[in-house]
Amino acid sequence: MPSASASIPSSVIIIGSGVFGLSTAYALAKRDEFKNSKITLLERLDFPAPDAASIDSSRIIRPDYADAAYASLMVEAHKHWRGEFGAEGRYAEAGLCLVTDEGDEGHVGGEGAAKDYMMRAMQNVTNKLGLKLGRREDGGQVEPLLSAVDVSRAMSTFGGDCGSAGYVNWTSGWADAEGGMRYMRKLVAETGRVEFKTAEVKHLRYGDGKVQSVELISGEQLKADLVVLAAGAWSPKLVDLRGVCSATGQILAYIDLSQEEQDRLGVNPTILCENSGMFIITPRDRVLKVARHGYGYANPCSIPHPERPDSGEKITVSLPRTKQDDPNVNIAPEAKEACRRFLAKVIPDLADRPWTQTRICWYTDTPNGDWLIDYHPKYSNLFLATGGSGHAYKFLPIVGDRVVDAVLGQDRDQLGAELRQKWRWPKQQHKDQHVWTDDWRGGVKGLILDEELARDHGAARQTKL
């Protein structure tokens, strides 16, 4: 792994134009160390790619983590969302209501595990970040909700059963996800330092302990001193990541609202149920999204071994299947049921509103939810910036700087040193080829996409792993 004294690459190729890719390109373009480096950003589809995880209506912006390192990192990112990055409607600080529900069996770890995560998150934002505890009307920033009545008061216009206990962080909010990505790409373009190239990567060509070239679908071979793999859920197609990270499909469902409903529901914070992983972000532009932060679906695919593509060897990895691959692919029956059940529970008057759209959003999950930001142990010029595990978007304004720190082998502060340890290539790989993140998730572990798509409505399911 290069150290701070290592030579600066004369050329860098970044594969992927998502959160990690764009933010890294921006950080490289601004660093004096890379002022003479040629930087190329490869985009699989014309930006914004409609099936990219970060191209969506909204994302939660929160420091509410049980892990104090991520909570502290969010203090840095939050400043940008509250400033120019969140301007022009790209960020709204409407609050985040985290709840547990005694009647919800949706979390495999049970209510105890969900409540433990929630309480540690509240302790971090109050004890470590210094947010003021107390009711909002008394100037409190973090408001404990000790009963179902308190939860209903916080979610004042939903009108349903929103949970049995929890807390609201009134300093959390939501971002226009696509708007934030468009803004970051604009910043990258304005540097004049980055060449954007729309092209799909077919293979990385390996040899002599490094990436020799990046081979495109067209057959063109691109060479660079440093290759940064930031392809999100498509990363396992280009390097063997079995037991390190895996693509999992997450569920999103949308309904249209009237203007009266938008005005009424838009005053509420985002609600996130820790038991089930189900959440509803404050609606915007008369669209309400119901989603689940869950174990997700695996989509096993047999592919040529990415590090030996001409050998005839095959491996099985989970890869995304999106509407770009199949325009008719939608969420599975169990997912529709889960979203419908949650919607009916918390906003009863919308219980029968038809979905206007559903979508599978693809995470790149690691076993413990920590990101993978490190050099590959076998290939000296291959750096990975992936494994977002469904919680990277909120760090869009700053994560690239931390990636570049890791590229250089530098730590700007104690937090950076701690995070670099979390983000290192794992010493021991996960025993299963498909990774199911156990940070905190709802749904059932081990679901296979094709099996769930084929399952009859209401059919029983069982845990696979």
Domain-embedded: residue 445? no
Contact 185, 68 (CB under 8 A): no
User: Which residue in 171, 195, 357 sits closest to 269, CA to CA?
Assistant: 171
pLDDT for the residue 464: 38
State the chain's mean pLDDT as an integer.
93
Domain-embedded: residue 446? no
Taking each helix axis from N to C end, the angle separating 399-408 and 19-30, rounded to the nearest 10 degrees, works out to 70
Give the torsion through C-alpha atoms of 223, 201, 192, 5, to 10 deg: -50
| Residue 66 CB contacts under 8 Å (≥ 6 apart), including other chains | 116, 117, 118, 120, 121, 124, 440
User: Which residue in 363, 389, 385, 388 sits closest to 375, CA to CA?
Assistant: 385
Beta strands in 246-379 (DSSP E): 246-256, 270-273, 278-284, 287-292, 297-298, 300-304, 314-318, 357-365, 372-375
In this structure, the chain runs to a length of 465
Number of domains the chain contains: 1
pLDDT for the residue 429: 76
Domain-embedded: residue 441? no
Which residues constitute the domain of residue 270? Answer: 11-423
Domain with residue 158: its CATH number is 3.50.50.60
Domain-embedded: residue 389? yes
Domain-embedded: residue 2? no
11-53 residue pLDDT tens: 999 999 999 999 999 999 999 999 999 999 999 999 999 999 9
237-280 residue pLDDT tens: 999 999 999 999 999 999 999 999 999 999 999 999 999 999 99
Domain-embedded: residue 448? no
Query: From CA 11, how far away is CA 227, in angstroms rounded?
Result: 9
Half-sphere exposure in the Cβ direction for 427 (13 Å, CA) = 2
User: Which residue in 80, 82, 62 sits closest to 70, CA to CA?
Assistant: 62
Domain-embedded: residue 148? yes
Please spell the DSSP secondary structure of 307-344, one letter per residue: TSTTS--EEEEE----TTT-TT----HHHHHHHHHHHH
Amino acid occupying residue 403: V
198-227 residue pLDDT tens: 999 999 999 999 999 999 999 999 999 999
Cis before 48 (ω within 30) = yes
274-323 residue pLDDT tens: 999 999 999 999 999 999 999 999 999 999 999 999 999 999 999 999 99
Q: What pTM was computed for the model?
A: 0.95
Domain-embedded: residue 39? yes
